[in-house]
Amino acid sequence: MRNEIYATLDHKLSPDDESKHDKCPRGENSWCIFNDGVETDERRIKFSERSLTDNAKVARSSVKSSRVTYRNSTLSTPSIFYLRSTFGEQQR
């Protein structure tokens, strides 16, 4: 019972940029849309990778890594703290 309560609490308090869905149930009948989407995407990716050529797989992984690199380079820690302190204080 305790795990279910913490799963619900983490699920509801999870911001978009920081996933806290580890305790949420998995599978097709899960009430957690995040985990259901992750599993659906994994199945879709496995299915689509079977039909890709080796060159297409290399290109896909290169695009993925460049997106992650770009995303990490555009996020700066001071701006995140600024946004949290500025907008977080107004809501309280």
Per-residue pLDDT 10s for the chain (92 aa) are 777 776 776 766 666 666 666 667 776 777 776 766 666 666 666 665 566 677 777 887 888 888 777 777 766 555 555 555 555 554 44
Provide the token pair at 90: 């107004």
pLDDT at site 92 = 46
Provide the token pair at 18: 């920081």
- Indicate left, alpha or beta for 27 from its phi (over 0: left) and psi (-120 to 50: alpha): left
Instruction: Give the separation between CA 88 and CA 92, rounded to whole angstroms.
Output: 7
Tell whether the torsion through CA atoms of 71, 73, 76 and 77 is positive or negative.
positive
Please tell me whether residue 29 adopts helix, strand or coil conformation: coil
